[in-house]
Every structure is written in structure tokens, then in C-alpha cells.
Amino acid sequence: MVFAPGEKSGNEQEEVALQNASKQIVQTAILQAVQQVSQESQQQEKKVNSSVSLQLERGELTKKHEKK
């Protein structure tokens, strides 16, 4: 079979389509992982902040500081 310049066979087109689909899957997986890590970091930060706030409200942090 002879193809015009720039034209690809069905197999080559299929290969390119599979490569593009693979790239898209990897990009999506990476994006989801980054978002998950970001959400977990934010949740952890909220826990730390709420714990510190609660300790401040109770006066626990200032008491520890005063003892030193």
C-alpha cells in the first residue's frame, strides 16, 4: 500500500490514538494524585490549627510556656 506524504496507515493511526489515550490517562492520574495530596495537606493543617486554637482557648499553651 502506498500512502501520500503525511498520511499514516490504519495501524499507525491506531498507535497514535493509543499513545494519546495513554498520555491522557497518565495526566489525569497525576492530576488526581496532586489534588488528593493537596486536600490531605489542607485537612491536616485544619486539624493542627483547630488543635492549637483549642489549646489556646483552654490556656494550655500559655501554661506550658509559663512553666519554662
H or E element in which residue 27 lies? helix 10-58
The answer to whether 8 and 16 have CB atoms below 8 angstroms apart is yes
pLDDT at 55: 78
**Single pTM value for the model:** 0.56
- In one-letter notation, the amino acid at residue 31 is L
Q: And the C-alpha cell for 20?
A: 494519546
Model confidence pLDDT, tens digit, residues 40-61: 999 888 888 888 887 787 777 6
Give dist(CA 26, CA 32) in Å, integer. 10
Give dist(CA 2, CA 4) in Å, integer. 7
Model confidence pLDDT, tens digit, residues 5-54: 666 677 999 999 999 999 999 999 999 999 999 999 998 888 888 888 87
